[in-house]
Structure 1
């Protein structure tokens, strides 16, 4: 049976103004960068390969990933395998390609300016272990080098522009802490797509300003990723974190790179990727990412590392990491200038993460005490995290047989959620609440019946 012509790929090649031979040359260039000389299926192709793919043959091995990366670079936007008329690539090379891809291309594809069909493709991405593989140290070194060519852009970018991005980043981060990741995500992505992309393509007053702007834009991309994570858009969040890490690496800001990797580890752990989470957390506390960080940030990196150690059954190492995180936070004081991104991390946050660590180690009683300390010490500016903490505490209480205590705690969760918190993580806590209450529904416990009905009503309104 004759193959059906791949019109999608043919149209992309026309848009790129590439002949079959030019396409093969571009493909082979990307393959050399990606595979570092390793010979694999379709590690090198000729014009006949491209002709067959346009004719309808499905490329195998690493070919879909390599060809899409070559087209992405040419067209200055991300080209997915689906857009090129291919089945989704499952090649391990895709993870490597994600780190080689230009972060400015990823910024270009953010926001509502992308057409609706493309948004559906991006939203349908998969969160997988393959996407959590980090680049090696040579990548970090290469990314941090100053560019050899000067920008020819007309737009001049100075320190005031850097401060503007930082101010906006902090404002959205505070909003996320109060109301959840469901508030303001579109606005963040629109700013990333238009304003920050123009800044990064601009002409910098000096190399220090260039690095500062890359760092500022990395933080904003990280906040976008964190909001997506909190809103349970996990594949989108991972893409944002990936972009943020690349921007941070280009700025040479090691502590910021560690901060973003910590968020990636947190997400991976929440989604059950325990081994991958540990590897990422270990990378977040490696070398200058930890040693050059401020005390508060070191405590944040360390306590998430402790959580990943606990989840992987490394009890003694987890306990030691917790103690180190406590020591680091105790060294944070007014005389130490901390980055704005650590504003949320204090005693309440440390107690929350410590409780999660103890819970994963099976010490439920101590975990409940730490959850209670977190609830008691957290201020009103952190209502979303407060709701998440209460959800975890209720689940831990009912695991210990404290049904009445759990119902009282979960009632506070619903109070917070119904007052305007838009958080996928907090909403998942309500779903988990109903699941954990199900064995008690037929026991005639009034508090269970009232809470379950209220939770069902809430979910019906938000779903």
Structure 2
């Protein structure tokens, strides 16, 4: 994904192994500091939240984002949904200083936005939209303009994903209009989606102008990426690929997709898999069958390790695209491998 991009400390396999190392200096909280608090929160009894609770929600958001990248939304989204229901929901009802309660709403909005993004790409479109609307409400209550416009941009992405170009542009422009004065990375995040949506409605000039603004803003951004709502070179090239495709430049689109994957961090496996699927599908549509088969084999190398509805959809598209080409040895071999991997994943 990255609808959010970021270098974050999380529950990856590396961190789990690292956590197994004994630390004599580890500070262990006393039982009386912990007992009853989690039960009280789950039971909905009045508790007071503090800065540490806000930090917990933000850390959990970062961890879910990393799990999403490494093993897919199929694992990350249920974890996020459970945390929202069991912990964040009660926190939002708890008492505390108004500043802390406002920050809790802002932190919750980020996690709800991320959960909506995952639902969207797990093809739970209605659910994703409901999460987005809830994120908008929380961001508004928190007076968090950044998360509000970020969520509008996510809704634009969903509209573009479903093929609703005019709605995607309306939401992308709304996100840009709602944004407060912000750093160049957020500007790039918003302009990139405006470029994509403009291309979808055939506004070539607007798409290229917005894409140029995206590139210029990204060049000015500090060397830091956020776990949620971040934007980097991989995201830029992915947007560039969509603009080129919508404007009729298939070869240029495939080149941009390759550049997008080259720019991804190694742990961004979910995003890499999706990008490979898009490359292969576009090559098939351009009748570059052998090149498409080569990309599909790379896709199949990575597919089994992820729980991803996007990956499943790409596999379905692969099998459908191969039918007219079964006379070709490369296509037959690819179809046999794809069906074998699909059967193993089902079992």
Mapped to 1, the partners of 2:254 and 2:277 lie a distance apart of 12
Contact 1:355 1:367 in 2 (8 A): yes
Larger radius of gyration: 1
CA distance change for structure 1 residues 252 and 339 in 2, over 3 Å: closer, same or farther? Answer: farther
Select the structure with the greater relative contact order (CA < 8 A; seq sep ≥ 6).
Answer: 2
Contact 2:114 2:228 in 1 (8 A): no
TM-score normalized with structure 1 length = 0.62
Q: Does 1:424 align with 2:316?
A: no
Q: Which residue of 2 aligns with 1:304?
A: 193
How much has 1:338 moved relative to structure 2? 5.9
How much has 1:357 moved relative to structure 2? 1.7
Q: Could you say what secondary structure the match of 1:380 adopts?
A: coil
Which segments of 5 or more consecutive residues in structure 2 lack a partner in the other structure? 1-41
Contact 2:225 2:232 in 1 (8 A): no
Write 1 or 2 for the structure with the bigger share of helix.
2
1:203-229 CA distance string (max 9 Å, x none)? 222x33222111100111112112212
Residue correspondence of structure 1 range 57-68 to structure 2 within 5 A: none
1:388-443 CA distance string (max 9 Å, x none)? 1011111222223321111111111111111x11111122112122222222123x
Q: 1:245 aligns with which of 136, 141, 157?
A: 136
How much has 1:361 moved relative to structure 2? 1.4
Residue correspondence of structure 1 range 220-259 to structure 2 within 5 A: 220-259=111-150
How much has 1:327 moved relative to structure 2? 0.9
Q: 2:332 aligns with which of 438, 444, 449?
A: 449
Q: Which residue of 1 aligns with 2:228?
A: 341
Q: Does 1:383 align with 2:269?
A: yes
CA distance change for structure 1 residues 346 and 338 in 2, over 3 Å: closer, same or farther? Answer: closer
1:40-66 CA distance string (max 9 Å, x none)? xxxxxxxxxxxxxxxxxxxxxxxxxxx
Mapped to 2, the partners of 1:462 and 1:230 lie a distance apart of 19
Q: Could you say what secondary structure the match of 1:313 adopts?
A: coil
Contact 1:281 1:308 in 2 (8 A): yes
Q: Which residue of 1 aligns with 2:25?
A: none
Mapped to 1, the partners of 2:201 and 2:342 lie a distance apart of 33
CA distance change for structure 1 residues 208 and 292 in 2, over 3 Å: closer, same or farther? Answer: farther
Mapped to 1, the partners of 2:323 and 2:183 lie a distance apart of 45
Residue correspondence of structure 1 range 118-267 to structure 2 within 5 A: 154-205=46-97, 207-267=98-158
How much has 1:371 moved relative to structure 2? 0.9
Q: Does 1:295 align with 2:184?
A: yes
How much has 1:234 moved relative to structure 2? 1.5
Q: 1:324 aligns with which of 198, 213, 236?
A: 213
Q: Which residue of 1 aligns with 2:291?
A: 405
Mapped to 1, the partners of 2:190 and 2:212 lie a distance apart of 13
Mapped to 2, the partners of 1:281 and 1:461 lie a distance apart of 40
How much has 1:154 moved relative to structure 2? 3.7
Q: Could you say what secondary structure the match of 1:457 adopts?
A: helix
TM-score normalized with structure 2 length = 0.82
Which segments of 5 or more consecutive residues in structure 1 lack a partner in the other structure? 1-112, 114-152
Mapped to 2, the partners of 1:202 and 1:338 lie a distance apart of 31
Alignment RMSD: 1.9
Mapped to 2, the partners of 1:182 and 1:275 lie a distance apart of 30
How much has 1:380 moved relative to structure 2? 1.1
Mapped to 1, the partners of 2:182 and 2:227 lie a distance apart of 13
Q: Which residue of 1 aligns with 2:176?
A: 285
The ranges of structure 1 where at least 4 consecutive aligned residues each deviate by more than 4 angstroms after the TM superposition are none
How much has 1:461 moved relative to structure 2? 4.2
CA distance change for structure 1 residues 462 and 281 in 2, over 3 Å: closer, same or farther? Answer: farther
